[in-house]
Amino acid sequence: MGHLSYEESKKLVFRGLILLAVVTLIEVAISLFGKGHIVPGMENSMVVAIIAGLLIIILSLYKAYFIIYKFMHMEYEAKGLAMTVLLPTLLLVWAVIAFFQEGKEWGDSREVIKDRNNIEAQSPFIESSKRDIDTKIIESINEQDNSHGGGEAHEGDTHNHEGGDSHNHEGGNEEHNHEGG
């Protein structure tokens, strides 16, 4: 581009911008068509969706190529330098594809978990078993409280009270140790 005049370079840039704008408008039209906004009923066709998606990908890659080749002046660079820019871009494309696949797997797993949660919430057996588990937990807590001073006094039990009082119940004999206040 170094041998072009200012006016010629300006025309070349505007041609590139117009080309990119036209390609973008074509992509938008394809997307609207594929989603059924231009022709109702097309959103239900898997073939139309696949073709629309592929066309949009191809046009987007063309725009990326055009921007790199013309606006970033890669057409004038040595092949080795151009490859150092383009090959990492291919890795980026691979990463995007891999992330979409991983996201799909996470989404599918999330749906399975939601379905399982809905089934568990609707099952009377699971609800009754949850109540049984809750009852057993409460009973074990009460048993622990009773054995550690929360219930009746039994022979040989020692209870510690606030203020340092210690009571030992052995056969009706009570020992009182008052420590502190």
In angstroms, how far is the first alpha carbon of the chain from the final one?
Answer: 96
Give the rounded distance of the alpha carbon of 60 from its chain centre.
Answer: 26
- What the block records as the tokens of 149 is 């001073």
Residues in contact with 17: Cβ distance below 8 Å, sequence separation at least 6, in sequence order: none
Give the rounded distance of the alpha carbon of 45 from its chain centre.
Answer: 28
Residue 171 DSSP SS3: coil
| Closest C-alpha among 174, 176, 151 to residue 165 | 176
Q: Output the pLDDT for position 17.
A: 94
Length reported for the chain: 181
Q: Output the pLDDT for position 119.
A: 73
Q: Output the pLDDT for position 78.
A: 86
Residue 74 DSSP SS3: helix
Q: What is the mean pLDDT of each run of 10 residues along the chain (181 residues)?
A: 79 93 96 90 89 94 88 83 83 90 88 78 57 72 70 49 49 48 45
Kind of pairing between the strands at 158-160 and 173-177: unpaired
Q: Are 147 and 159 in contact (CB under 8 A)?
A: no
